[in-house]
Amino acid sequence: MNGDLQKTYDALVADTKEISDLGNIAGLLSWDQETFMPPKGLQAKARQLALMSGIVHRRQTDARRGEWIARLADAESDLDSPARATLRETKRSYDRLTKLPAELVEEETRTCSLAHDEWIKARKQKRFRALSPVA
């Protein structure tokens, strides 16, 4: 791999690691909701989770990532097998995620967060119709 191509690949990998870390932060927020969230904290936690999912989605679909992917795809034959696999999976994810607007991702996360709390209550009471207004 030539120097410029290596720099592009390294940038893509570093960006992917940061995105993964942000996703792990979102996971901690979700875990917090499940374990330590005060009863009146649901709205704030749902907003926080939605915000993080939007940030992660925007990073995953940033045009700069698309440019890196395109540059690497143009020189795919110069990449070793692990780099080609990384490129293939990153491109697949990028192509899929760019079809979704960040607002939809945020709203889905917020709704799921709110609905999960309702699910916990409904399950305890065996009243699953309670979920109808949330879904």
Give pLDDT, residue 99: 97
Give pLDDT, residue 129: 75
Please report, in angstroms and rounded to a whole number, the separation of the first and last CA atoms in the chain: 50
Give pLDDT, residue 1: 77
For residue 123 the two structure tokens come to: 């399950």
pLDDT, averaged per 10 consecutive residues of the chain (135 residues), comes to 92 98 95 86 93 97 98 95 97 98 96 84 79 60
Backbone angles phi, psi at 98, to 5 degrees: -70, -10
Distance from C-alpha of 134 to C-alpha of 111, rounded to nearest angstrom: 7
Report the predicted TM-score, pTM, of the whole model to 2 decimal places: 0.85
Give pLDDT, residue 133: 61
- Residue pair 40/96 in contact (Cβ under 8 Å)? The answer is no
How long, in residues, is the chain? 135
